[in-house]
Amino acid sequence: MEADAKKRLASKIGSRIARARLDAGLTQDEVAERLGIGNQAVSRMERGVAMPTLERLYEFAGLFNCRVDSFLLEASPREADIGASIAQKLSGLPLADREFLSTIVSLLGDHLRKRKRKGKH
């Protein structure tokens, strides 16, 4: 993996960790204390300066009560992973809301494909 790709991956995973921490209502200091690490380590991971180990991702998932793959799916450029990430976000929504969002995504995708064909990317 190229250095730039590694930086993007670390940044995306870090952003997901930060969002999960905020959703859990925890500070970086609280996360650091619960995981037995320094608060600077948490900050570095959230900013994408340091890549968390797989073991650390499991610890974050346990602490934030989320799935381990949620950190990785959102960071992946793979189409199947992006689809799985979107599916996770839609889970738990009422059927009408999922259908509404599906329609919006379809319309937006059609618009972007037409725009690309016209050379306006």
Q: What's the chain's Rg over C-alpha atoms?
A: 17
CATH entry, 3-78, from 1.10.3720.10, 3.40.605.10, 1.10.260.40, 1.20.1090.10: 1.10.260.40
Collapsing DSSP to helix, strand or coil, 35 comes out as helix
Tens of pLDDT along the chain (121 residues) come to 788 889 999 999 999 999 999 999 999 999 999 999 999 999 999 999 999 999 999 999 999 999 899 899 888 888 998 888 888 889 889 999 999 999 999 999 999 999 988 876 5
Give the domain ranges of the chain: 3-78, 91-121
- Does pTM top 0.85 for this prediction? no
- Spacing of C-alpha 110 from chain mean position: 25
E strands of the chain, at which residues?
Answer: none
Q: How far apart are CA 8 and CA 2, in angstroms?
A: 10
Instruction: Put residue 14 in one of left, alpha, beta given phi > 0 → left and psi -120 to 50 → alpha.
Output: alpha
